A and B are shown apart, each in its own frame.
Chain A
Amino acid sequence: MSGQYAVGDEPVVEVRNLSKRYGEFIALDDLSLTVRRGQILGFIGPNGAGKTTTIKILVGLAKPTSGVAKIAGVDCASDSASIKRVVGYMPDGFGSYDNMRVREYLDFFGAAFGIPRKRRIERIAEVLEITNSTYMQDRYVESLSHGMQQRVGIARTLLHDPEVLIFDEPANGLDPQARIEMRELLLKLAASGKTLIVTSHILPELSRICDQVAIITQGKLRAAGSLEEIMRNLNQRRTIEVQLPANQDLVEAERVLRNSLGETAVVTASPAEAMLRFETTQTDEELSQVLASLVAARVQVSQFRELQTDLEDAFMSVLQQQRAAALAAETV
């Protein structure tokens, strides 16, 4: 693969106190984040959160009202001509042209980036190879399936060998097979040293590939870091499941749990599953005491486990926190 970049701690994307206003409307509010070389940043947020505005500023399509955004040392706002050479951008909608074959499509964008003809021929072959799209080079672009078009779109972003790739919803509308292929392709690109910023609504997909996650709502960055860090910071409550072999001890188990956790604890029983669930902020040591009290009360326990949280939970926690804060503000 052309353009191997060394993976390291060096920040490639730096965003500091970025704000964007459209009249009275605040699209971005004091956003700061950093992405290091070779990392994949999952940029998530509900519709209208400000993801696309951030991306537009990063690729030079919009200017911030205040703040700084730099990619590979190039200022995105003041040097939008240079930024085009260091960033490969794939928007949400695939920009296609009628009656053009894949090779011609790539040839056009290669020429638009000023790649000399000889080098362009080689480069087109390379990017088609990287994206496993060589077999479709003679097909008409508009006749391709959505998954194929996404791969051609990625091939296009790679033509000028940019350091940073920004993909807006690359997995949107893809079938499971195409989604797996897309995931592998993104990991392959990151492994080659490219820095990726990926937005997606399909959060389980992102959680499988991202090193870093940034959650944005209403233009504000709510959380950033690795998934584990975010979960630790956001979700202090843990959900514990207590599985019993049969449901005859269910009432007794619920009584013991309430005694151990306190009367205010929310314990839900599911007789059909012979299971109890509760949410707690207790540490592992404190939870071991809860289990010990169950055993001491001669309740047979087959499993005592913590429910694993994922990116969706983290995202929902952020939304809930934000709603609670908004409600509190309204009440005041």
Chain B
Amino acid sequence: MLAILRRELIAILRTRKAFVLQLGVALCFVGLIALRWPTDGRVDLSGTRSGQVFGLFSYGLLAAVALLAPVFPATSIVTERRKGTLALLLNSPLRAWSIYAGKWFGVLGFISLLLVLTLPAAAACYAMGGISLTGQLLAVYGLLLLAAMLYISLGLLVSSLAHSADGAVRVTYGCVLALAVLTLAPYFFLQQSGGWLSELAAWVRCISPVPAMMEIVGHGDVGSEAAWKGPSAVVRFMLLAPLLASLFSGITISRLRYHLLDRARSQGLITDNRSLGTRAARRAFFIVDPNRRSRNIGNWVNPVMAKEFRSRRFGRSHWMLRLIGGCAILSLFLAFTVTTGTVQWDLESVGGPLVLLQVGLMVVFMPSLAAGLISSEQENNAWPLLRTSPLSGGRIVRGKLLSALWTMLLMLLATLPGYAVMIYIQPTLWLQVIRAFVCLFLAGLMALMISAMVGSWFRKTAAATTAAYVAVLGLFGGTLLIWLARDAPFGFQTVENALKLNPMAAALSVFNLPGFRNYQLIPASWWVAGVVIVICFVVMRFRVQSLTRPE
């Protein structure tokens, strides 16, 4: 186990990525404290100021752990399997649990190192006064370690199931977002219903570290309207996180056997060659059967776009139909629940969850769709083939971006039924809905272009996907972090300026959602988004041009 632990940790520490992460995290948090360090001679005995900084510091650390902890484990097992070194490990006297523990502690060691690098900033925060050492500072670090353990176990589990490193990164980030954000949703709707369902939702909610963190920093409770009964969110998270981590670890260890390597290659049975009955049954099940012989690319279709849809795992029509169907059902369900259900809101506020749903979908999907557009070609050795074809750089970029853009538009359109319900109930809302839709379109396009641009600078798809997720989540989540610290420590103008970078915030302000209704974000937010999109496009175009040019 020690050999693997040493190798894993050293392998991570040797990468330039690790160095950048360590430096970035240390500088970022030290900078945060330095910005709010008292400059006048007076001492804030109440500790209000340090409490404000400490809140921001804690949420920032939690966001950093959620973004960084899954990256390394997510690629760990799948990369070893593809390179063939997993077979060597399984062929050694090392036991499955020992291999797993080596990897697990290796990544945990690195995350711990990152957390240690933030200790000077935490100490400075503590020195400002008003913060309890055990009740707050140590509790935050304990919570972060627990969250890291949970996400590392999750990353390793996904890695043992995935077929490619970039796929593992995508799924892991999706799962982390689901565990951190989606788990909050049931309680949001069921908290006033009472009974076992409400209690269950309360427990599910505590799978996310956010309520526990809010409790520690003294920010009350996110989305909670009813009085909180039973154990605190911190205690619940302390119980649930190790439990889930153990469950994920157990499944992963049970998978670390030879059968992981003993998979037959798909023979690609084609439906056209099968019996009439089978064909009919598959038609009914899939609507668009993925195994039927596909038509040749049309003369006027961008071949790169068609290729992207065909080679993308979830790019085939049947997956698109499922995605649209899922989005439409979710959107209608949300609209139905909040208009007829337990929460007494005005109709405008219904738009909030819809906006969050749509942006959540786009933040999860866009980096995974767009980050690997260029890097996957380089990783698969297909870039020289494209370069020796008559396709121009511009056509390649257009084809690739269009393939992601169509998916994004389908997702946006699929969530429209929820808005249709709103307009049906209150027709005067149509202008707000259109404005919100423009914001969402820009949010999606911005996520797409940032992901595509960031990803184009990497040669490995997994690294490109990670960087794109960090950039997109950093933009959408980072501005919300500043919003969380509105008026304390950030002033109104700072928060408004930050929110102008985030079209999702503009969409929420259109619906006058509490906390957003005071900010005037439109049309400035549209302009900012437009400029960011154009810059990203130009940079990406330049990058592709430099890659297609003769050396």
Q: Which A residues form the contact surface with B (CB < 8 A)?
A: 56, 59-63, 77, 80-81, 84-85, 87, 89, 91, 93-101, 103-104, 107-114, 116-117, 120-121, 138-140, 142-143, 156
Contacts and interface: CB of A to CB of B under 8 A. Distances in A.
A63 B267 CA distance: 42
A61 B388 contact: yes
Contacts of A97: 307, 310-311, 380, 382
B382 A114 contact: no
A93 B310 contact: no
A56 B307 contact: no
Contact of A104 (B164, B310, B380, B388): B310
Contact of B550 (A61, A95, A117): A61
Contacts of B306: 108, 111
B389 A113 contact: yes
B83 interface: no
A80 B386 CA distance: 13
Interface string B299-327: 10101101100111101100000000000
A59 B550 CA distance: 10
A314 B436 CA distance: 74
A163 to B, nearest CB: 15
Contacts, number: 111
B313 A109 contact: no
B299 A91 contact: no
Interface stretch (B203-211, B290-298, B473-481, B503-511): B290-298
Nearest to B269: A138
A84 B294 contact: no
A95 B380 contact: yes
A91 B311 contact: no
Interface centre among A61, A96, A108, A120 (most CB of B within 10 A): A108
Given A61-B388, A143-B266, A143-B268, 9 more contacts: A59-B388, A95-B381, A99-B316, A100-B310, A107-B296, A111-B303, A112-B303, A114-B390, A138-B268
Contact of A112 (B265, B391, B551): B391
Interface of B: 164, 265-268, 270, 273, 293-294, 296-299, 301, 303-304, 306-307, 310-313, 315-316, 377, 380-391, 550-551
Contact of B381 (A85, A93, A103, A113): A93
B387 A61 contact: yes
Contact of B310 (A94, A96, A99, A139): A99
A143 B265 contact: yes
A84 B390 contact: yes
B109 to A, nearest CB: 33
Contacts of A112: 303-304, 386, 389-391
Give the top 7 A-B pairs by smallest Cβ distance, nearest first.
Answer: A95-B382, A111-B303, A93-B381, A97-B311, A143-B265, A62-B551, A112-B389
B267 A139 contact: yes
A108 B551 contact: no
A125 B486 CA distance: 65
B296 A120 contact: yes
A140 B266 contact: yes
B297 A111 contact: yes
Interface centre among A99, A103, A121 (most CB of B within 10 A): A99
Given A60-B388, A109-B389, A113-B390, A140 B268 contact: yes
Contacts of B270: 101, 138
Nearest to A91: B384
Nearest to B265: A143
B312 A99 contact: yes
A116 B298 CA distance: 8
A85 B388 CA distance: 9
Interface centre among A59, A121, A138, A156 (most CB of B within 10 A): A138
Contacts of A113: 389-390
A116 to B, nearest CB: 6
